[in-house]
Structure 1
């Protein structure tokens, strides 16, 4: 089972940075951005995380929570957060529960070898817990701004 536009996103609880857990149902009433990135502390993922970090106040103004997700362990996520000054939780999805729910594990090629990895993807969940927008195969440049504008439009109703 994976998420579909216009449908409620199934509830989940996940381990996040700052010794916290994130439960989707506890965020009801807020918009939620869930962005998946391939690997902590790599150049593209650092840029993307920084773009979301730098727009957090604007997301806050639209009643929107930002959650970053990768398959990295919690220690790698904590280090990434500390090094980059991220002001939102990063989720460790080592068992790929969220990756499967959002269907972001894809066959990728690196140096001619095929492997399964996270396709950079972002999902915007509305205040009622329904999937409002999705971006798949994301290019980092300008992406966080595009997501912010979608969150602003959704928030404005």
Structure 2
């Protein structure tokens, strides 16, 4: 099962920070940014999360919820969120259910060794639960600005 632009994203429920279960369909009526990052407390992931944190008020104004997802355990996610002051939910996807749904697990190389890992990716879902935009193989610098622009344009168009 994979997602495609213009189609409804299949519903999922996942363990999120704050001792909550987050269900995608419960967010209908709001736009949703789901961004996948390889690992909590690493430089690129910290920068990306910080950029989302720093632009949260603008995302809120565009009726857009931010959700971060990685394969880290919930304790690591809670620590990452607290340490960085993130003002949005982080999902612990240890079993890769959400990662598989969005097709973000890729063969990667690190120090000459191949392994399966999360390809940094972001998805913008509209108020009806349809995939409006996707960014795969993301470079952190300037990315959140681009996602915010897309969210604002989508919000104006609704």
Counterpart of 2:125?
125
Instruction: Give the TM-score of the pair, scaled to structure 1.
Output: 1.00
Misfit runs of 4+, over 4 Å: none
CA-CA distance at 1:106 after TM superposition: 0.2
Aligned position for 2:113? 113
TM-score, with length taken from structure 2? 0.99
| Distance of 2:3 and 2:15 partners within structure 1 | 20
Deviation string 1:10-36 (CA, Å, 9 cap, x unpaired) is: 000010001111101100000000000
**In 1, distance between residues paired with 2:15 and 2:36?**
15
| Alignment of structure 1 residues 8-157 onto 2, 5 Å | 8-157=8-157
Could you say what secondary structure the match of 1:123 adopts? strand
C-alpha distance in 2 between matches for 1:14 and 1:42: 22
Taking the aligned partners of 2:9 and 2:39, their CA distance within structure 1 comes to 24
Query: What is the alpha-carbon distance in structure 2 between the residues aligned to residue 151 and residue 65 of structure 1?
Result: 10
In structure 1, stretches of 5+ residues that fail to align are: none
Instruction: Give the drift of 1:124.
Output: 0.1
- Aligned residue pair count: 157
| CA distance in 1: counterparts of 2:121 and 2:32, whole angstroms | 14
Q: Which runs of 5+ in 2 are unaligned?
A: none
Q: CA RMSD in A?
A: 0.3
Q: Distance in 2 between matches of 1:136 and 1:83?
A: 27
Secondary structure at 1:75 match in 2? helix
- Report the Cα distance in structure 2 between the residues aligned to 1:153 and 1:77, rounded to whole angstroms: 30
